[in-house]
Amino acid sequence: MMSLVLTLVAQRDAATLDAATIALARDAVDGAQTVTTLSAGEAVDIPCPATAADRLPALRAALADKPVDAVLTHQDARRKRLLVSDMDSTIVANETLDDLATHAGIGEKIAEITARSMNGELDFATALRERVALLKGFPASLLEKAWNDVRLNEGAKELVQTMRVHGAHTALVSGGFTFFTSRVAALCGFQENHANTLTIADGMLTGETGHPILGPDTKLALLTSLAEKHVLPANATLAIGDGANDLPMLKAAGLGLAFYAKPIIRNAIAAQINHTSLRTALFVQGYPASAFSGA
């Protein structure tokens, strides 16, 4: 019985998903001969038996020299009806707090703390307070300069708007700041956004954040509460993230996708995007490129 689907996606500007690669993958997981093309030369679906899950590490090893992602999902409830996504290094290419610190001239000091926090080496709330405290006394106008550096990752708008067109609810959640999430949410079409707040007084950063601090537990709680609000089972939910503070929500979602994630995430989450774009989050739901919106 073919209870799973293997989705193969090639990096668009670096490779073409050729017949040999598809055959290699199909044979590695004992997949069906019938393959569904989602985007010619870019993405296909291959029905697989449940045993494919055990063979996924070997398949990834076989594809190691190719810029191709391989993601297994269940045949049932592939199209998710709730999206909860991290922002920094997921929807956007930036770490916005690091960018803010760079404009303040203390980028390296703060980036080092960010890296340790995202790798799970530091408590998130403690690390956030420590980084924000270093910004005390700098002009709030630096926020606008950091915003000018922000770049959406490829496929961000397509992901959000395609899911919305097909009835999903979409939420952006970040351990960063509402100054950025509100703008990114508007750019992409997220229906709601949640993040921390930076305290400003007399046009200067005070070095403090609003309370309580939004961290990993809050991200998980948001996923759970939105699923309950929209009367959705867990398997109808999709969460995407890259850092340690995303791990609880990634584990709880019907599909948790690790996006160019830190080692602590890649070691815990099987569904991974390591070579391609956020378009892959649509392909793994069975959407063909012809159904994408918002490009």
Is the Cβ–Cβ distance between 136 and 205 less than 8 Å? yes
Q: What is the mean pLDDT of residues 206-231?
A: 94
What pLDDT does 88 receive?
96
- Quote the CA–CA distance of 266 and 151 in Å, as a whole number: 24
Select which of 45, 69, 88, 99 is catalytic: 88
Is the Cβ–Cβ distance between 157 and 187 less than 8 Å? yes
- The alpha carbon of 112 is separated from its chain's Cα centroid by a whole number of angstroms, namely 22
Which of these CATH numbers, 3.30.70.260, 1.10.1330.10, 2.60.40.10, 3.40.50.300, describes 1-76? Answer: 3.30.70.260
Select which of 86, 98, 99, 246 is catalytic: 86
Task: Return the CATH number of the domain spanning residue range 79-94+152-295.
Answer: 3.40.50.1000
| 88 in catalytic set | yes
What pLDDT does 12 receive?
87
Share of the chain above pLDDT 90, in %: 88
**Least confident residue range of 36-45, 209-218, 247-256, 274-283:** 209-218
- Quote the CA–CA distance of 201 and 214 in Å, as a whole number: 21
Is the Cβ–Cβ distance between 273 and 250 less than 8 Å? no
Per-residue model confidence as pLDDT tens digits over 122-135: 889 999 999 999 99
- Residue 231 binned pLDDT confidence (cut-offs 50, 70, 90): very high
Is the Cβ–Cβ distance between 85 and 79 less than 8 Å? no
Mean of per-residue pLDDT scores for the chain = 95
- Compute the half-sphere exposure of residue 285: CA atoms within 13 Å on the CB side of its CA: 30
- Asked whether the domain spanning 79-94+152-295 has the same topology as the one spanning 1-76, the reply is no
Per-residue model confidence as pLDDT tens digits over 179-188: 999 999 999 9
On the question of pLDDT at 15 being above 80, the answer is no
| 45 in catalytic set | no
- Nearest residue to 73 (alpha-carbon basis) of 275, 261, 294, 273: 273
What pLDDT does 119 receive?
87
Radius of gyration of the chain (CA): 20
Question: Would you list the domain boundaries of the chain?
Answer: 1-76, 79-94+152-295
